[in-house]
Chain A
C-alpha cells in the first residue's frame, strides 16, 4: 500500500493551524498512525488508529479519516511542533510509511 502525503512542505507561523494529509492507494480502514520526527531524533508516535492520541501527546494534535483519506491537524502551532511528520499504515504487510511532510516556520 502506497501512502502519499501532502503537501511536501508546509510553511506556517506559530499559533496557526496546520492540516497535513495522507492518502492511501487502497483502503487501510482506520489502521493509520502519525509520527513526528525532529532532526537527529527518533520518530515519536502521535496518533494511532487514525484518531487516538498516544500517551503524553498534547490535545492540540488530532487525527481524522478512514478508508483512504486521513488528516493530521495541529490546532495552534507551538515552536516545538516544527518537524517532519510521517503517516504509516498497518492494514497490510508490508507496513509502509508516507514520504513525509516537512512543517517549517514561515
Chain B
C-alpha cells in the first residue's frame, strides 16, 4: 500500500524557516517524480514545487521561487521542502504527492499524504 507521511509543519514567525519532510513507502520511491501542493485555509489547491526521480530537475511556482527548495534522498525514501523567508501568505496545509507513472517529471499526482500545516504568524 502506498503511503506518504508528511512532517515538520508548525508555527513560525514571518521571515523564519521550516523544513518539511515526506516519507514514502509501498512503492519504489526512486522511480517517481514527487511534488508539493499547498492549500491555504478555506482556499483551493496551489502547486508549489516538483522534483524528478533522480533529482536532476526541479520546478517551482513563481510565488515560492528563490525562497523554497525541494530535494529528496532516495536512500531514505524521503522528500523535503525547505521553506525560507516565510510570509503570512505561505500559511497552508502542505501536501506531498507521488506522480502517477514512473520517470515522468510532470505527471499527475495519484497518491497524496494527509498534509502538514504551516502557520506563519507573529
* Residues of B in contact, count (CB < 8 Å): 22
A42-B113, A86-B45, A100-B44 as given contacts; A93 in contact with B59, CB under 8 Å: yes
A63 CB to closest chain B CB (Å) equals 12
Tell which of B46, B100, B115 touches A48, judged by Cβ atoms closer than 8 Å.
B100
* Residues of A in contact, count (CB < 8 Å): 23
- Asked if A94 and B108 make an inter-chain contact with CB atoms under 8 angstroms apart, the answer reads no
Q: How far is the CA of A88 from the CA of B107 in the complex (A)?
A: 11
* A contact residues vs B (CB 8 Å cutoff): 33, 35, 37, 41-45, 48, 54-55, 84, 86, 88, 90, 93-100
14 residue pairs bridging A and B, Cβ less than 8 Å apart: A41-B114, A42-B95, A42-B114, A43-B95, A45-B108, A45-B109, A54-B100, A54-B110, A90-B106, A90-B107, A93-B106, A95-B106, A97-B47, A100-B44
